[in-house]
Structure 1
């Protein structure tokens, strides 16, 4: 790679594209990007207009209709997160390197940025509506591992009955749309779900059995169209099996709006050594605009998983 060959618009496009592919909490299955086009850089503030629901009144023929004034109770999306990457490539190393160095560096930069961004979005679970929270850090749900009772006998895993179904009920009671629902689980919970007959036997609208895995995410179970696995699933209480507590978040993409932008990528010739320097700036922000469309369960990881 050389400063003379560096194309900032290409780097920005490639890195942002790779970022979006690697995001779990920041993917379109979990958040919406309705206001991303209005982001101009770090410190940007996007005003989101929201109105209360219209009231429904009784009506009699010939009666008088009263018009309800709707007040804007909008929110703001602030682009208050900024992360940068910067590295140097020595001329000697550049000449001796084998393979596509630029592609490798673009990919690694995108991966590190995505990891930090996903953790930021995952932290928004604390803003879920109070009625949509199951358990607590001090009294978490405690599912037990799945076990086979015989060669052809299946028993439903506790994680399904204690976590998935209750979260589904909370979303149902909050009138959250069924189409597009998601749930994000840590790897150990993902393992419990795959051992559940309710997941294995799930069928689509045509009565055909759904595949267990589709492009990195699981098939439908308990009405969740996307069951996602992430190591960034928040762990408010540190610890391993039998002690640690994870926050499992479920909901609909309408709940959280997310916007991001690669504000700048540039290359420069370093003055104190024979090397090229490359740096970039990633800015983003997220806002929970529908807390009733998120449900959270505090779950203790069972021993043996």
Structure 2
């Protein structure tokens, strides 16, 4: 492996970091079980309690025997394993006045996070039946006049499922965000960082992402929901520096394992939209 492409000249070396899209979906899930995983293949058991019956009290008959609580157990499987493995040749490193290994680690970390971001976004398929607006057959085609309204409609779907008002989110693609900023009802937050946060609509934090799932530029799956709906657990299993046997170079390899589970399908709503 060579890094010659990253060294314009021997005397003046500058490594330009490539443009990176905002990573969003990792911020809109919960990480409650992060510390419970022990490598690829491990399983996290998530227990939830069913409804408690509320009855009418009668002082003559009392309240009767206590009911037995119903519990439901879901399993979050750590079934994803991603790695990176790169090297920097001794000659290349000697010519460069930047730390190529350090820059490589930064790029590898971003690459791992980007893949995980797309993985979490794919959980739109777990949405509860009826919690959708539009579909693959009849996708919505929003305009600058009604894009804002469609996000309000997603919020109504969450309302009807008794989803808490706090910690709500919605993730839109860049073109949909472009429609929102043309609507005077949408207040733009100028402090947009790599979190992708761009504003708030109807108690939903609005995020912009290029990882919104789509079918080659159509049928974008705009997910709204509550942070408790999807659980994500992951960890970097190992990062090792080594000297490859057949090269004069330094190398670094790393492994990240993770998994996710939609534990509250009623806590997400999905708008399927095409760009006009």
> How far did 1:222 drift?
2.3
TM-score with structure 1 length normalisation? 0.79
Q: Which has the higher strand share?
A: 2
Q: Is the 8 A contact 1:186 1:230 kept in 2?
A: yes
**1:116 counterpart residue number:** 115
Q: Distance in 2 between matches of 1:125 and 1:272?
A: 46
Q: Distance in 2 between matches of 1:259 and 1:63?
A: 49
> How far did 1:250 drift?
0.4
Q: Is the 8 A contact 1:22 1:111 kept in 2?
A: no
Report whether the alignment pairs 1:63 with 2:64.
no
**2:146 counterpart residue number:** 158
**2:130 counterpart residue number:** 131
Q: CA RMSD in A?
A: 1.6
**2:50 counterpart residue number:** 52
**2:238 counterpart residue number:** 264
Structure 1: 5+ residue stretches without partners = 1-20, 147-156, 201-209
Matches within 5 A, 1:1-305: 23-27=23-27, 30-64=28-62, 65-144=64-143, 146=144, 157-161=145-149, 163-200=150-187, 211-215=189-193, 216-224=196-204, 226-235=205-214, 237-239=215-217, 244-302=218-276
Q: Distance in 2 between matches of 1:273 and 1:105?
A: 18
> How far did 1:260 drift?
0.9
- Seen in structure 2, the aligned counterparts of structure 1 residues 175 and 270 have a Cα distance that, compared at 3 Å, is same
- Seen in structure 2, the aligned counterparts of structure 1 residues 230 and 289 have a Cα distance that, compared at 3 Å, is same
**Helix, strand or coil: the match of 2:86?**
strand
Q: How many residues were matched structurally? A: 253
Q: Is the 8 A contact 1:22 1:114 kept in 2?
A: no
Q: Distance in 1 between matches of 2:152 and 2:22?
A: 28
Q: Is the 8 A contact 1:23 1:114 kept in 2?
A: yes
Structure 2: 5+ residue stretches without partners = 1-20
Per-residue CA deviation, residues 277-296 of structure 1 (Å, 9 max, x unaligned), is: 21000111000000100000
Q: Distance in 2 between matches of 1:301 and 1:93?
A: 45
**Helix, strand or coil: the match of 1:175?**
coil
Q: Distance in 2 between matches of 1:139 and 1:172?
A: 24
Q: Which has the higher helix share?
A: 1
Q: Distance in 2 between matches of 1:185 and 1:96?
A: 44
> How far did 1:166 drift?
0.9
